[in-house]
Structure 1
Amino acid sequence: MATSIPPAPSAPGQLPRPSLSQTVDVETPELVVLSYTLAGVGSRATAALIDYAICIATFVAVIIAVLQLQVKFGVAASRDSSGAWVMALLGVIQFAILWLYYVLFEALADGQTPGKRIMKLRVVKDGGLSVTFEASAIRNIVRAIDLQPIFLYAVGLVTIMSNARGKRLGDMAAGTIVVKEDLVSQPVTPRRSSRADARADTSKPVPLSARLTDAEFQLLDRFVQRRMEFDAERRTQLAAGLAHRFSAKLTQDPAQLPIAQLVRLHDTELAARAQGAAARNDTGAAREKHRIVATNAPRWASFANTLKSAQGGGLSTLGEDGVRRFVQDYREMTADLARLRTATRGQESSDLFYLNRLVAGAHSLLYRRRTFTLRRLITFLFADVPAEVRASGLPIAIAATLLFGPMAIAARAVITHPSVAATLLPQGMLARAAKGVEDAKRGKGYIEDPEVYRPMMASQIATNNVQVTFVAFAGGMTAGLLTCWALVMNGVSIGAALGLYISKGIGSLIFSFIAPHGVLELTAIVLAGAAGLLLASGMLVPGNRTRRAALVQRGGRAFRLLAGAVFLLLFAGVIEGFVSPNATLSLQTKLAVSATSAVVLAIYLFYRPRAALPATARLAP
């Protein structure tokens, strides 16, 4: 009867490469290939659940605070504006929990949310470098598509499992991967049993080759390590089978049982490998692999301890001299990794896996992204964003057509046939228009909310509009279908509302409300739509690039358009909350605000100082 030896647990001091784990290779600036272990669906899901729990707990705390403040300020809101300001602030906090939790943690904590930190996961760029704010924002805004349907994350799970690099749609757009970051805490110094130590004779030269191949030694090693787990009969059967297989390598001593001969052979082979002897049948560079490990294992262990300390507190904890030594050691480690990879000839090895994890950890630490500064933010908003707007004329023109075309058609349809409004608009808008006829006669404005509520209004309007632009951007990952739908439906809604008020003879009522903020808000909608279309073009029309490279490159460009849209919406929200509903301001005054915003917007987008020309040049596709 054939016998087999069950897989053994890892030997002390060794870490076997996970056989079921997916890995991805990246090349460092030192031209050394690193293998990262991709995070599995289970660990990512667990990290997500932890983050969800944190978000929900924070959200509940905010809701409780809102309810308490409503009790305190609600009745006296007309006399005390502090309550409205607090409510507005809480609205912004809720928005931040929903959209900014992941972005800020990943961008500021080097790719780790609290959930990912607990699960020892990290988001990195495809090249192994630290994730940037831009990449973090892109992957987490596209989460709006990944979590469909209704927070069940079915889209994300399907794409992760069907992608060789475990990417969801957000990772594809951002050019990121999620990797495991377990650092081996024990060095891989080859094991030597006490029996082998006792028999070692340092006066004898190290043998050039061991008597067993690596595969044979692994088989023997598994048996010796687990022999006591078998009952006596099973142990005897396995020992007899192995003794027959290794008969030519065993010391033929009739006084010894087969199991004793196998243990002695194991100790001899273990001692030889610990001193760097090559395995039998190894040729060329492969003969060096055990010697590389035996010679350098102490230095690797020391580097592992330094790396663990630096990962906990940053490179600054090492001091100037320590950082200099760390960089020097890192370069030596990359050379060791290249030599060991050549010696193992691409085969899986616990030593190679261990050394790869050390170098990968140091690589991520050394090439961590620069600190985000106020100066960089200003450069981004006032140089990069306008430059991208000027460079993206085609998607902007298409987005404008999809917005203003349906807007004009819907407005004309409702003006010509007012009954069409009931099909295109919700009942609430129809009722507001009917009431608007009477309000216009009394000299009232489009909205008659008390002035004290305007901070809260501005907060709600701004956060809602920003979320709409996020959806339009993320819709680019549906090949642009969701983006086009969002633009068309927004155009129809706005056009139908305008047509309804005009058909009732109160067009000035809605124009006086829209005019102050309309220029900024409509421009922002167009930019967000253009961002989604630009993202979709990376999937549909990659040009000379691969589809993956085009998607990442245009995703970065699209993010700049989206950032411009959000920037404009912040100002539009303030104007819509404080100026647009103010009935004491005349239509001429509001038109003047509109004209001023248009002039400022034109200067912002199209004024090209000489210093901005390099920014434009680097955006060329």
Structure 2
Amino acid sequence: MKTLQIKTAQNININFTVANVGQRLLAFLFDNILKFAYIYFVYYVFDFQAVEETFSGDTWTVQAVGILVLIPVTFYTLYSEILMDGQTLGKKLLHVKVINVDGFKPSVSDYTMRWFLRIVDFNLFILLAVYIQSITINDSDFLLGLTFVVGKLVGLLLILFTPNNQRFGDIIANTVVIYLKDEVKFSETILEELADKYVPTYPNVIKLSDNDARIIKNTFKTAIKFNDYKTLIKLRNKIIEVTQIKSIHKSDREFISVVLKDYNFYTQNM
């Protein structure tokens, strides 16, 4: 399996296992099964045909209802990755997740960009339908459908042949999908000793992931060891950028130390 190596400000190399095309396709398949199950449930259990018959003379209303019904499916990947820290249910099942290529949690804009660019990546279920329809009409329609299919294969081909298995949306959003084979190790490396009556200061630390906390701790320890104050400043600014914390500590060292302890407090007591 391919490995993504991230180098911190102190030249610490952290290795992540990149999710392969099989894992991503299985996660994609599971997510689409959920989408089709939702559509089936809405259209047949709630009898959407009855809605169409009721508003048969009002095409706009029927279309508006159809759009509303499909909103959860359309935005499923986007809101799932935002709310589940880079995972959909399919990704969670396959133990893969989306991270920033620098090792930190992607921003909402990163998730939005990679979701939006799915329009130029692959969708295997649509590919088959368009291809079959194309070969049953005429040559021009066939060529048009074939062009569409080849275009939709861009995402699959990029995952197969790019160094970090990135589709077009990942490349533009600066993200990569990793395999969480070392998920337990991540948690073990971020533990901090806390007093029994420890009172946290920054609730927003929950916006960090285990990966973020591990990188912060490793970089923090090395910066302290070599009295690298520039790295401490950069690390503090990055934490504030990701969490939107309003620091009450003037010392970078004290602030980062409290952030790590607060993260441990909240993750151990949630």
Show the counterpart of 1:320: 200
Show the counterpart of 2:85: 110
Q: Contact 2:9 / 2:219 at 8 angstroms: preserved in 1?
A: no
Q: Secondary structure at the match of 2:178?
A: strand
Q: Secondary structure at the match of 1:142?
A: helix
Q: Secondary structure at the match of 1:36?
A: strand
CA offset digits 1:168-188 (Å, max 9, x no partner): 1111122111111233647xx
Where does 1:314-393 land on structure 2 (aligned, <5 Å)? 320=200, 333-334=218-219, 369-370=242-243
What TM-score do the two structures reach when normalised by structure 1? 0.27
- Residue 27 (str. 1) matches residue 3 (str. 2): no
Letter in 2 for 1:45: L
Structure 1 residues 93 and 131, CA, compared in 2 at 3 Å: closer, same or farther?
Answer: farther
Letter in 2 for 1:168: R
Structure 1 residues 305 and 30, CA, compared in 2 at 3 Å: closer, same or farther?
Answer: closer
CA offset digits 1:292-350 (Å, max 9, x no partner): xxxxxxxx9x944849xxxxxxxxxx9617999x9999766447789xxxxxxxxxxxx
Show the counterpart of 1:275: none
Rg larger in 1 or in 2?
A: 1
Show the counterpart of 1:137: 112
Give me the CA root mean square deviation: 4.1
Deviation at 1:122, TM superposition (A): 1.1
Q: Contact 2:42 / 2:48 at 8 angstroms: preserved in 1?
A: no
Deviation at 1:106, TM superposition (A): 1.5
Q: Contact 2:82 / 2:108 at 8 angstroms: preserved in 1?
A: yes
What TM-score do the two structures reach when normalised by structure 2? 0.57
Show the counterpart of 1:154: 153
Q: Contact 1:26 / 1:127 at 8 angstroms: preserved in 2?
A: yes
Letter in 1 for 2:77: Y
Letter in 2 for 1:59: I
Counterpart of 2:50 (choices 71, 76, 79) is 71
- Separation in 1 of the partners of 2:35 and 2:69? 11
Letter in 2 for 1:139: R
Greater share of helix: 1
CA offset digits 1:100-139 (Å, max 9, x no partner): 1111212232211111111111111221221222222222
- Residue 43 (str. 1) matches residue 23 (str. 2): yes
Q: Secondary structure at the match of 2:103?
A: coil
Q: Contact 2:3 / 2:17 at 8 angstroms: preserved in 1?
A: yes
- Separation in 1 of the partners of 2:122 and 2:170? 13
Unaligned segments of structure 2, at least 5 residues: 129-151, 193-197, 224-238, 245-270
Where does 1:262-273 land on structure 2 (aligned, <5 Å)? none
Q: Contact 1:102 / 1:113 at 8 angstroms: preserved in 2?
A: yes
Deviation at 1:26, TM superposition (A): 1.9
Structure 1 residues 88 and 26, CA, compared in 2 at 3 Å: closer, same or farther?
Answer: same
- Separation in 2 of the partners of 1:30 and 1:96? 43
The percentage of aligned residue pairs carrying the same residue is: 23
Structure 1 residues 27 and 368, CA, compared in 2 at 3 Å: closer, same or farther?
Answer: farther
Q: Secondary structure at the match of 2:164?
A: coil
Structure 1 residues 114 and 155, CA, compared in 2 at 3 Å: closer, same or farther?
Answer: same
Structure 1 residues 31 and 72, CA, compared in 2 at 3 Å: closer, same or farther?
Answer: same
Where does 1:535-574 land on structure 2 (aligned, <5 Å)? none
- Residue 55 (str. 1) matches residue 54 (str. 2): no
- Residue 88 (str. 1) matches residue 87 (str. 2): no
Greater share of strand: 2
CA offset digits 1:358-391 (Å, max 9, x no partner): xxxxxxxx789448xxxxxxxxxxxxxxxxxxxx
- Separation in 1 of the partners of 2:6 and 2:240? 14
Deviation at 1:39, TM superposition (A): 0.7
Unaligned segments of structure 1, at least 5 residues: 1-20, 187-299, 308-317, 339-365, 372-621
